[in-house]
Amino acid sequence: MSSSTGDRQLSRTAPDQPLVAVIIPALNEAGKIGRVLDKFPKDGRFEAIVVDDGSDDGTGDEARAHGAALVIRHEQRGGVGNAIRDGWKAAIERKRPYLALLSGDDQHVPSEMVGALDALLAARADYLQGSRWIRGGHVVGDTGGRGLGTRVYSIAFSILAGRRVTDATNGFRIFRSAILDHPSVDIDQSWLDSYDLEPYVLYKAIRGKYRVIEHPCTVVYHVKEGYTKMRGLKDWWRLFRPALLLRTGVKR
């Protein structure tokens, strides 16, 4: 599934409309979402779509004040997968050819999206997965033991997907929106409302023979502000089960 011949030019040409809609799911991230948007690339190829998943601390208002192109508000919490899905759908309605993800809790470095997009286009790839574990990647702060968990998970995911992925839990990614149109991909399934959605799409991209590459990125652990909203084995299972259920044919 090849890229268009104009991709190399797109990497350096300012388009009339953004090329990449960067979806930022956020739940009670006041004080952080503004920091994320303040660091957002000053590059016309990107726009920020924040999905406020039922926050009660003014996250959506802060996102608007700090320059989000669009803020989608969920009155009730629907789960991170549901939030990402609504962001993707809004981006597709806006006819953005590429979709991306950033963490709403300031764990990623938004400016790294620029180099990642350039790498994706230069490689004529369809999907770029960020990795803190490959050369050039960085971890800032104490992982609190999560580093080992992400590595073990990535090994298991790689075995099931049939391709080595060094950092499969990392939310930093850019991919062609057309991947979601593939007949084998159905993001509207209710079991994908939580952490399942991201590994589901990565697995589908790999198994669908799309060109998938990895690119170094930074993950920042703000120890005093908490590591993550993931809670225990239940949420780790939600990350793990898409590859297992798809591989065994239980889900599609």
pLDDT grade for 210, boundaries at 50, 70 and 90 = very high
In-domain check, residue 1: no
Tell whether the model's pLDDT for residue 244 goes beyond 60. yes
The answer to whether residue 200 sits within a structural domain is yes
Q: What percent of the chain has pLDDT over 70?
A: 90
Could you list the beta-strand ranges (E) of 4-121. Answer: 20-26, 46-53, 70-74, 98-101
**DSSP SS3 for 95:** coil
* Mean pLDDT across the chain: 92
What CATH code is carried by the domain that includes residue 192? 3.90.550.10
152 within a domain of the structure (yes/no): yes
- 3 occurs within a structural domain: no
Its domain, for residue 77, covers: 10-247
CA distance 4 to 67: 31
Report the number of distinct structural domains present in the chain: 1
Residue 5, pLDDT score: 45
pLDDT one-digit tens code per residue, 166-195: 999 999 999 999 999 999 999 999 999 999
